[in-house]
Amino acid sequence: MKWLPLLLGIALLQLGCAPERGWKTPDPWFNAPAAEPNWSEPIDGTRIDTVLDSKEPDAEEMLAERPFVEISPEQAQKLIGLPLRPHGAARPYLVRGVYLNRGTGVFQIYKQPRGGLMVSHESIGSHTTTMKRQALVVELDEVPRQVFVVCRMTEMTRPEPPSDVPGQ
């Protein structure tokens, strides 16, 4: 029994040292599933385009109430600045996305069981940062039933120089 306070203290220290996700406060668009999915199928990157920075406010307004909205090919072209690549009977959707360090990462979208969709951005960084929004246009073969929006950052820290190097 006398070890219980020590063990609890160690457990609390371990929890306090858990790796950070890279942000302090999640953006309202962030919507992680309750548990990591055990199956997902990546959507081909040629079906995914980021909305132009100049069109981001318009896209965010379109996504104010829902995490995705079906759009016309003409709307998609205005939002991404390019015509869509043909993908059979696929239809364009505007979806929510979030990121931490856009320049060192990439958006990936995964189809999940029962019509789910996961929009994910993984990046590399060196410190906690603010989560930012990015609307995306994705061509899908079916209407998503639920959309999860997540991001992660692998923290890269500078190694400490060795202290036993001769001449220093």
Give one DSSP letter per residue of 27-88, joined into a string: -TT-B--SS--S--EEPPGGGEEEPPGGGHHHHHHHTSS-SEEE--HHHHHHHHSSPPPP-T
Q: Indicate whether 124 pLDDT > 50.
A: yes
For residue 80, the tally of other CB atoms under 10 A from its CB is 21
Q: Indicate whether 103 pLDDT > 60.
A: yes
Mean pLDDT of 3-12: 30
Report the predicted TM-score, pTM, of the whole model to 2 decimal places. 0.79
pLDDT of residue 1: 41
pLDDT of residue 158: 66
For residue 167, name the pLDDT band (cuts at 50, 70, 90).
low
More confident residue, 62 or 4: 62
